[in-house]
Amino acid sequence: MRLLITGAWAQAEKNIPTLNSIGHDVVFMQQERDVLPCDPLWVEGVVCNGLFLHHDIRAFKNLKYIQLTSAGLDRVPLDYIKQNDITLNNARGVYSVPMAEFAVCLVLQLYKQAEFFRDNQKAHSWEKHRGLRELCGKNVLIFGCGSVGVECAKRFSAFGCEVFGVDIVSFENPYFKRILEIDRLNEVIPSADVIVLTLPLTKKTEGLVDSEFLNSLKQGCTIVNISRGKIIDASALVDSLKNNDIYAALDVFEEEPLSHDSPLWDMKNVIITPHNSFVGEGNGKRLTDRIIRNLENFGGAAYQNTDNSAKK
């Protein structure tokens, strides 16, 4: 297959000989926004992330295979891909472990007052804090029960939490006490001590966390977003954080970088990180293994959505 691969796959260049050895003719481009290094008519397959945000997919008349380096599918034109029987693979599972660890880390920072102790260390101040909280026994609600959600559930369960899930469809998983369909989310939101958002951005999930959702949270609840910024109504979140005893740990935002004048920066009940939760030293090998395995197995099958709508 004639492959265009991009720098979104960090280990792309050093794996070109491997791709050649399994029968692929490869052209490489580092930046996806740059001018294409080949005629789009030449391309039969791509390994990329946001290539089609910068180049019209309709110009790739012979395209039959797409391998994304991301888990989400919101950067590709899904309707066109389906209509043209283009095989689509994502990076489901590649980033799940570091993201799940990050989610637990963020909650523990808030529960164990990490900022308080760090500030005191800098000031050489020996001062105890009597307001630390325990994760054990807390109700954790995970929105999106795909690979990231499952890895989160494993880790919160290990802390003695009761873990519930919300997904597009209801199904059983041993790491969740129960998984409800998303249309029944109002049944479980009020009892949640921690809410973790791991679901993909779709028309149905955009703005899911709105004023009604936030007003249903119990006092002391912590909401963690490691999925997509647009899932939360930002203005509604700011209002709720100002007026209620709730907490937020936010790794993703509707616009990135987060504006310097956003009120979220200065809120004591908020942790902000720069879309960093996916980073881990095991990602490179997991992604490379997946890309090569998928290319070895590709047989021109019709489009398949490996994300299963609510899974990462």
Catalytic center residues: 228, 256, 275
Spatial contact of 219 and 225, defined as CB atoms under 8 Å apart: no
Closest of 231, 245, 241 to residue 263, by C-alpha: 241
Q: How far is the C-alpha of 48 from the C-alpha of 282, rounded, in Å?
A: 19
Residue 66: beta bridge partners? 46, 88
Q: Are 111 and 57 in contact (CB under 8 A)?
A: no
**Cβ count within 10 A of residue 169:** 12
The Cβ-side half-sphere exposure at 290, using a 13 Å CA radius, reads 23
> Which tokens sit at 302?
């019709």
